[in-house]
Structure 1
């Protein structure tokens, strides 16, 4: 069976998105991933060794230990082209780790990190002198410091054509695969330094080549498991294949966990139970642009009861509120048009703590009553505040012990089992409860005083196979560190790109023995934004929203943040709220429709 049927690749048979690496550039470092031990490297005082764990990618990394007056310097002489620009990069772990190049013929360069902990990427660049044909690249630690680690060291620039140059690229990383239908899958991976093209393998079959970092594969069979790998290629040859990734296509009629949702969906919250400055919007007046409408909010009778109630806004607050019968009829009309309507639990004032099994069971029964009464399609979890407090020492997202988290997971699984595969499950945490776990999970950013940082991670992980959409609120948030080690602030494309890249790439979790939170499928992820400047801090102008979508789905229009892949199957956008979007003249939803060529 051929890898891809005719027309299987998007954009007239080409792998989608992402410009190819310049043909003249190559990764000139030999064994930069230390997959063949110290081959090509010289370490001072016998300080270096190849180790199998921890590694940044592949199966090996360099571990070098300073001793006495030795700083554990490991170096390699590399043939280069005169009067040319080169970029030197490596992933390092440890305190006071240096990366540099000497003998450049111009200004020698180095960069360093002093912060121990997770893997960090160091990058610097230089230009060779007019007569320079060789430089020395190196990494070293510092006197009296513990061992440091280096992996995936690259020197990318013009190929001098000298003996032994260039080397084949390293194996690609970050491969993700998601079924966008019963016969189609979307794949993406991180760009590999020095690669000029890639080969995509399906079940080990003859590969299909292309220059981009993503592909759409069609002609698949429903209810079938496929395994994919990708390799990188340059003039010197082909890299090892990436770590395999498998997916199972659904039986038909939609994607896994996404019954009836379009490939790109718009999600909005509808203020159904309360009034604010945005004004009340009747269900029948919600435009067709909205694919998922979350009813805000179902609220608890008390923080710990688990008893959730929902009622329409009182007529004294919302004079134009419809009757319950009209509301239910409008919901059925939306569903007949292929839309989904969910009950959203929580919100700013709706704290829910399922601290006991009794509260868990009450939660299940009361939420079921709401779903049944209004004929809803599922549940949105919008817990904030102290609803998901972590207990001290509960640091492994794979095995939570905190009752409020364990009971929530159990309750949602019970609801999913009760309503079956058609049950739509979404979550809307803030970045504090998700991405900030990269820095503070289980400890809190203030010396352990706030154990909520990253508190959604165990819930998302335990429910990832049931999860339809995760739309993190990229607003009402302070700056958050991305995978590039830089802090990103709300309101611009880079913030949304960095936060979404973390979800789709996976990220190290602070204090966690599992180290990396696994990536979500792109079809499970939407970006959460406020609809107007009145709706929340961090409003993003439509032009910046477009930039974020372009970068994440096409690898174009990117800013300073470099993503680890390209995800054309990214599900879409969420906003707070439908009401505020109407208040703002429907600017948010109209921009979404324009971007995806929809009429609304």
Structure 2
């Protein structure tokens, strides 16, 4: 959270490799030498085997590296859609699909492209892999080449890509023409579906293998929620004390089988992150307790009853790596109207008596905390406990920013983190949770950079010149999801972020909050890895983070846009261009930076919240 002025994350930028010209020259020489050939006329028995080559069905059938691809409505060559793919960092924005072909057969791949250094090719041919390219196409330009499959080749991968450090390229009407292959049969219906371990937020499933199946699709209450290659899975992100129905279907290249018979399971009680006595819709706000800025100091006793969770900002470390957290209240020289310690503690008790939760927030813009050693981890636990005990607080808010969390280069699995600063933080928080028990309130306030950007760049080191922080909160959130009361991502001070629709969304309107929140409530592949899926959180664990006023941070949203976002997510009405993957009436509420800035703005944010939720 920014104490002073708004910050904007720099846009994602690629870089040009030093040997770019040499590589391009080599590629051109290969093309001249005869690898790129003029296609012959298609035979009568030939067919176009490419799936969705015009991108009229979005990216169906296509996979783009690092989430680089998106479908656009302009420019297009034919129809209403085309592919736009954007190279970034060390990623060349390759979009590909694998096609079933006949062995020892002639094929022609062709397509239309726009942009600089755009490539079209085929790999896995079993003979000589081919590609063709253009150095510059200001309008739609056709690329085409031919190849022959090997005597044992049954699969070929088509692809298009750009080049490092270049702008986005466009592609449309991609085809692969050659002998068709008769479609096989989908696999048989799975049998033996049964439930295993059931917790308050997850259900384990297993079933018998199906001959010829390459994967399995899992359905929850009739909606596909997960795909796996094995014969077991755990469906997470469920609501406590709720009955669910599950089915499974087998999948191969020919399609998906009918669904199995259903099994039901009811999740357990408890879990899900602490006390259940928060209101159904809660308002969370940060109170400037250790400093003053242009918003002025606000006494805790003067905070209106609108606020259900009050985060005291901030507890900060004595040094970045010490783990020793201190909470120093704002000095009178900086905050002339600051209350005494006795009055401050009395105000905490009064708020708690009124059903409010008061937490210590650790970190903030200036409070970088790196728990790189077990000694720092243990000091963190001891010092945070001391603050909680001294003031009689309800729990902890983690607001790590800056370089507090970053990933080691080999830490690519968010479910099994190895980076010490992440592992030690998880262990420290679990220790605090165990010490204070079920009523301990745990909240987190990461920036979108640390969460949603993981959809594209987690573990790849490709954001903004290999920044290891992209998505670094994901392993912490996942490991603590059953202890987490609220996650309220800061949907502000952020650059454009790609949503699950493969479109970039920018701050300032309802669509940004809808897209960012939908990601948290819907399973999504991390860094485009279909096998590395981040399970959804429960709706009652989510509050949307917004600035309280135009003074509080970049990305302020007018009350009307706030209400549009809430309408869309909780009722699926008043939605904009983004289509959500569900409806979540149990969405917990809103978080804002900050109570002080809301007071400065005549309480516009909290009054609008009260009016919306009654």
TM range (shorter): 0.5 to 0.7
SS of structure 2 residue aligned to 1:317: coil
Instruction: Report SS of the residue matched to 1:442.
Output: coil
Alignment of 1:382-421 (within 5 A): 382-421=399-438
User: Which residue among 464, 473, 483 is the counterpart of 2:490?
Assistant: 473
User: How far did residue 74 of structure 1 move?
Assistant: 3.8
Map 1:288-299 to 2 at 5 A.
288-299=305-316
**Matched residue, 1:91:** 60
Q: Is the 8 A contact 2:272 2:483 kept in 1?
A: no
Cα deviations by residue, 1:225-258 (Å, 9 ceiling, x for unpaired)? 6333499xxxxxx98489988652536xx97534
Structure 1 residues 266-303: Cα deviation after superposition (integer angstroms, max 9, x where no partner) = 00000011111101111110100000000000000000
- Matched residue, 1:486: 503
Question: What SS does structure 1 have at the residue aligned with 2:122?
Answer: coil
Give deviations 1:64-115, integer Å, cap 9, x for gaps.
xxxx989983489xxxxxxxxxx8566223369999xxxxxxx866644667
Matches within 5 A, 1:145-544: 145=123, 147=156, 226-229=243-246, 240=259, 248-250=267-269, 257-446=274-463, 449-510=466-527, 514-544=531-561
- Structure with larger Rg: 2
Could you say if the C-alpha distance between residues 248 and 318 of structure 1 is closer, same or farther in structure 2, counting changes exceeding 3 Å? same
The 3 A distance-change label for structure 1 pair 283 and 406 is same
CA distance in 1, matches of 2:492, 2:70: 36
How far did residue 311 of structure 1 move? 2.1
**For the Cα contact (< 8 Å) 1:443–1:450, is it kept in 2?**
no
- The answer to whether the 8 A contact 1:398-1:514 is kept is no
Structure-2 change in CA distance of 1:392 and 1:244 (3 Å): farther
Which ranges of structure 2 fall in alignment gaps of 5 or more residues? 1-38, 72-77, 87-91, 98-108, 112-119, 125-155, 160-197, 202-218, 224-237, 249-256
2:48 to 73, 92, 99: 73
Q: Deviations over 1:32-88 (max 9, x none)?
A: xxxxxxxxxxxxxxxxxxxxxxxxxxxxxxxxxxxx989983489xxxxxxxxxx85
Change (3 A) 1:441 1:246: farther
- Checking the alignment, whether the CA contact within 8 Å between 1:416 and 1:466 is kept in structure 2 is yes
Unaligned runs of 5+ in 1: 1-67, 77-86, 100-106, 122-138, 151-176, 181-197, 203-216, 232-237
Q: Deviations 1:292-321 (Å, cap 9, x if unpaired)?
A: 000000000000000000121101111111
CA contact (8 A) 2:64 2:95 kept: no
Does the 8 A contact of 1:530 with 1:536 survive in 2?
yes
| Aligned-partner SS, 1:527 | strand
C-alpha spacing 1:304/1:594, structure 2 compared with 1 (3 Å): same
| TM-score (norm. length: structure 1) | 0.65
Number of aligned positions between the proteins: 430
Aligned to 2:122: 144
CA contact 2:388–2:394 (8 Å) conserved in 1: yes
- 1:552–1:563 CA contact under 8 A, matched in 2: yes
Task: Give the distance between the partners of 1:406 and 1:242, measured in 2 at CA.
Answer: 40
Q: Is the 8 A contact 1:95 1:148 kept in 2?
A: no
3-state SS, counterpart of residue 438 of structure 2: coil
Q: For residues 565-584 of structure 1, what are the structure 2 equivalents within 5 Å? A: 565-584=582-601
Question: Which residue in the other structure is 1:46 paired with?
Answer: none
Against the structure 1 CA distance between its residues 308 and 556, is the aligned structure 2 distance closer, same or farther, given a 3 Å change threshold?
A: same
Question: Residue 555 of structure 1: CA displacement?
Answer: 0.4
Question: 1 CA distance for matches of 2:574 and 2:412?
Answer: 38
Work out whether residues 178 and 521 of structure 1, in 8 Å CA contact, stay in contact via their aligned partners in 2.
no
State the TM-score, normalizing by the size of structure 2.
Answer: 0.63
| Alignment partners' CA distance in 2, 1:459 and 1:72 | 49
Is 2:589 the partner of 1:589?
Answer: no
**Alpha-carbon deviation of 1:391?**
1.2
Residue 575 of structure 1 aligns to a residue whose secondary structure is strand
Q: CA RMSD in A?
A: 3.9
Whether the 8 Å CA contact 2:488–2:591 is kept in 1: the answer is yes
**Per-residue CA distance 1:528-582 (angstroms, 9 max, x = gap):** 0000000001000000000000001100000001111111111100000000000
> Residue 508 of structure 1: CA displacement?
1.4
The SS at the match of 2:60 is strand
CA contact (8 A) 1:347 1:383 kept: yes
